[in-house]
Structures are given as C-alpha cells and as structure tokens.
Amino acid sequence: MLLMRKTIPFLLLLVCLPSLAMVPKQAGTVSPTPRPGKDYALFFAVEQYQEWPMLHNPIDDAEEIAKDLRELYGFNTEVVPNPTRNQIYDKLDAYQKKAYAEDAQLLIFFSGHGDFIETKGEGFFIPKDGKLNDRYQDTYLPHARLQRIIDNIPCSHILLAIDACFSGTFDEQVAAQYKNKPNWKRYNENEDTERRQFIDNTLRYRTRLFLTSGGKERTPDPSEFADSFKRALRAFGGQDRILEFHELYYQYLQKASPQPRFGQFGSNQTGSNFLFILADGKKAAPAPAVDSETTVWQAARQQHTAEAYRAYLQLYPGGKYRLEAERYIRDLSPPDNMVFIQGGPFEMGDTFGDGGSDEKPVHTVTVSDFEIGRHEVTVEEFSRFANASGYKTDAEKGDGSYIYENGSWNKKAGINWRHDATGKLRPSGEYNHPVIHVSWNDAVAYCNWLSEQHGYQKVYTISGGTVTANWSANGYRLPTEAEWEFAARSGGKKYKYAWGNDNTPHANIADESFKKQYSGWTIWEGYNDGYVHTSPVGKFEQGDLGLADMTGNVWEWCWDWYDSDYYEKSKNSRDPRGPDSGSFRVLRGGSWVSLPALVRCADRSDSAPGGRSYSVGFRLARAVR
C-alpha cells in the first residue's frame, strides 16, 4: 500500500495538467483513398508453445493492429494464430503466389519467441512447435531464410516487423541513408492532388525494409514495440493522413524499450518507403478534451509499473481501461511464488547475544528492494529444468550425495535430486517437497535457466568453475546473505526465528517426530511438526511477509562466499555481497535435522560450492528494476 500511496499523487498531478496528455492531431476532411485493395498485412502471432514458455499478448496485439490497418488504412489483413513452422512456410508460399498491383504494399508481422545461437552467429523466430533445446535448430525459422523467402514475394513494397527476442539479429547493418531524422513536411496538406502525387512519387522504388523490437537482446511481454505501433496508427497519419516508415520509427517506435532497430534487406532500392494511408474517407475526429481518467491512464502507461496500474484502478475501479490495467498488473507483478520485499536498514547479526563469533559484531546493513521466493525451489520445479535442459547435477556427475545412515554421514553413489533424504527415489506425490542433493553450482545453473524461460537477463556468467554475477541484470539469482536475513526477520525486525520470538516453534525442524528415528540427536523438546524428514514447501508460513520455511525444512544456499570475519568488514554497508573469493559458500536457515541453536535467523553455516546433502536446497531471489 505504501507504494500505491506514493504513486497516486503523481498521477493526480497529471490530471491537473491536461496539456501533458498525448492527444491525436486533428485532421481535415479526407477524400477516398487512391489505393483500394492494394495493401496487405499478414500476422504470425505465437502464444501457445508446445515446449517454450507461454506468452500472453502476441495474438491480442496482432488482432488490434490488424483491425486498425483494416478499418482505418484499408489494408486486407490476415492473422495466423499459433502457427507451426510448416504452417508459416505454407502461408508465405501462398503469398508468393498472389497477384499484386504494381505499387502494392505488404506488411508481414512476426510476434513470439526468438533465439540467437552464438556459435552460429544466427538469429531465429520460434514457431509453436519449436523445440526448447533444438541442437540443430531444425524446428526454428532462420532469419536468413525468412529474408530470402520474403524478398521473393512478388509485391513491390514489403515491410517486415519482428517482435521477438534477439530480433535485431535479422540484420546488424542499419541503412546509412536513414541515420538522420527526415523533414516531415511533404506538401500542402490541404491539397488532395498534391497528396496523391506524393504517394505516387514515394512508391516508385522497390521496398524491402524491416523493423525489429530490439537488437541482440531479450524483449518483454507485453511488448512496448507493439504498443508504440498501435499509438502510431491511432494518430491517423497526422495532418496529412499519411504515416511514413521513417515517421513510424522516429516519432513512435524509437521511444520504446528496448530500442527497436530498422534497416533494409534483399532487393531494396535506395529511396524506398512504406506508407500507411488513411483510407476510404476516414478522418481523424476532432480530439475531445482529455478527461481526467484518460490522463491518469496515460500517466500509468508512461510509468508502466504494477503499482501505477493499481493506483489507476483504485481511482477508477470500473474504469474504461480496467481490463488493460488488470492485464498489465498480472504481467508485471511478481510470480505467485515470489514476494516483494521493501528494502531498508537493519541490524544484522547476533542481536540476542547467544550466537557464534561469526555472527558478530552486530552491524548496520541496508538492502535495496528485492523479490524472494515464497518457498524453496521444489523437486517438481527442478525436474522441469533438468528434463528440459539435460543438465547433470554435481551429484550425478560425481559420486552421489550425503545421507545419514547407521549413525553417520555417508556419501552414497547414485543419490541425486530425484531422491529423498533417506536415499530413496521420491514418488511423484512428494515432488512438492524442496529439492535436495543439489550443490551451489546446480542452484546458479537453475537460476540462469529460469531467467531465460521468463525472458529475463541472466545474472550469472559461468566459465568452468568460475561464476561471476551481473548485479544490474533482472533475472533470477540466489539471495545474498544480507537479503536472506532481512527477509527471514520480516524486513529486519528483531526476530530470533523466522516465526518471531515465540518459544513455540512453527517450522519443520528436529522435533519429537524426528527423534523417533534419530534418537541420539538434540531436538526441540515437546514440539512435534509432524514430519521426520522434509515437508511440502509452504507448509510452515512464518513471519509477517507471507514467506514460508525460512526457518527449517532445508538449508538454503546464498550467493556469498563465507568469511567468519566478514561482519567486521561490512559495517554500514549497502547491499553487501560477501568477500570476493573464498572456499565455501554461505548456507542459511537450518533444516529438518537442525537443533534449536541452528535455526536462529542469525545463524551462519557454509559448504563448498560443489557440496550436496540430504538437508540442503535453495530459494530464488530477484532484483526489483
């Protein structure tokens, strides 16, 4: 609610400043277009993938743009939803066989996932049936092949738009003649004769131009590129009722993030252009006075944050932009299994005076806002990663993992993430338990994979045994030790345990049920959590932030190298991330096997990055950008 209260005053300020609103330019009366039936638009929009992560907006975006082109600009439009690779090729083949007017125009718009293969230096569009890990890219559409096919369509003027990750790899070269913004004044806008002459002169040269939603980078869903395209069309071509290719880019698309690219391909001729011409007597109606709700909405769109859209809905719960606001909130809000943590300063360390020397001195630390997993990563979640990527964990590549049997720790070959704490294969009914027998190395590999699946920038660069972090990336990562303790203590409160300071536990720890099988262990006397080993994640919600299992269930890997003296070095620091090097990584939170002293929020433990056992797992974190 605090973020919402911060947002609303800014929105209300814009209500008082209607001149800041984006108002379509007024246009005069328009005579019928000189281009009946000459212009086409073909859309390939993929949301429902067989293996790649689902998307939410490509089909809606395609249908909206197609509707505007059809009703305002007289285009013949076709939207192909969720096409397979062969369906795309078949449809392009059908367009190669069409008969076109001498000066006809064709827009081809691709929207969906994209990929770039560094070893090949080649970009691809991913169809519905594209495989997630296609070693030879046999199920993808290479940009180079699309160039050849589209260039051979017998239409004089073709504009290709690709709204997908890595779409800028379609062509790294931008046409030199387009580097400078052109002069938009073309002729006397009141003279239809001059307008028609301008159209005829402009469409004299063969056009093979492209637009992409970014460069060699990932692009978001929802797409700013598509939204900017819609805004351009809905300006009705401005005073002269014509939207040119360069006007589309420089006045609208260039402002999107990531910044779109453009260029030429194939048989393009110098002087080429593409025009969106207001059709069939359509005209831009005089712009009405912008109402307060629209101004608030425009401010929310400019900020494009979940909090801004919630602020709009708080002011206009039944407003005309309600459905769009709700869609953006869903897309921009943390996933269901992530919790937003508002950062701040706190006293880190042994604030109760009963901890080890490595928990001292108590020192002030400030952490920035971040997101953290509501619970630990589950066996089910990790299985998707292992099965999709073919990744082999350290336990699988090495000699197994540690279990406790016959009164001692033993490393047992063949034990890996598929097994429970006793070394038995888990039944599918227990895949909602936290994954165990995974190393720190395995955890960072999972983080990178999940970032790719969700369209985020990977945090970690892994080179052999060396892992470096890009802290400006927006992908998934392990929490730092400071973030973990701040979250476990419900935002840095003076809590001894994640459930608070109550001496009645609420966690899966060493207890009476545990002692029935492990009689020689120290337990929390008189407490029974009902589980001997791990419990399903989320079973024990703790603290004030909606997090679960911060205390107990499994130890959790953190990013930091362990240093027993680090607290002396990190006094009054902001976002400390541990020493630059070390031999062991930090573990936090205790587990189902932990005695009372080890489940305090301030307790610190450690293990080698390749270490794995029956009581160690991890949870995700993510920076807030």
Task: For 498-532, write each residue's pLDDT tens digit.
Answer: 999 998 999 999 999 998 888 888 899 999 999 99
On whether the pTM is more than 0.85, the answer is no
What's the mean pLDDT when you consider all of the chain?
84
* CA atoms of 528 and 306, how far apart (whole Å): 41
Where residue 484 falls among pLDDT bands split at 50, 70, 90? very high
Where residue 323 falls among pLDDT bands split at 50, 70, 90? confident
H/E segment holding residue 498: none
Segments making up each domain of the chain, as ranges: 32-277, 292-332, 338-623
- Domain 32-277 listed as CATH 2.40.10.10: no
What are the distances in angstroms from CA 212 to CA 172, 174, 277? 11, 11, 22
Q: 338-623 has which fold?
A: paralog of FGE (formylglycine-generating enzyme) (3.90.1580)
Q: What is the pLDDT of residue 409?
A: 82
- Of the candidates 494, 495, 469, 499, the one whose C-alpha atom is nearest the C-alpha of residue 621 is 469
Give CA 325 to chain center in angstroms.
18
**Cβ pair 30, 238 in contact under 8 A:** no
Report which DSSP code applies to 451: H
Q: How many other β-carbons are positioned within 10 Å of the β-carbon of residue 464?
A: 5
The stretch 423-446 carries a mean pLDDT of 96
* CA atoms of 513 and 125, how far apart (whole Å): 54
Burial of 410-429, coded b for 16+ CB within 10 Å and e otherwise, reads eebeebbbbbbbebeebeee
Structure tokens at 234: 């809905």
- Which residue's structure tokens are 């391909």? 265
Q: How many other β-carbons are positioned within 10 Å of the β-carbon of residue 554?
A: 32
* CA atoms of 460 and 454, how far apart (whole Å): 15
**Cβ pair 393, 458 in contact under 8 A:** no
Output the 3-class SS for 571-601. Answer: CCEECCCCCCCCCCEEEECCCCCCCHHHHCC
pLDDT at 2 over 50: no
Q: What is the pLDDT of residue 28?
A: 38
Q: What is the identity of the amino acid at 548? A: A
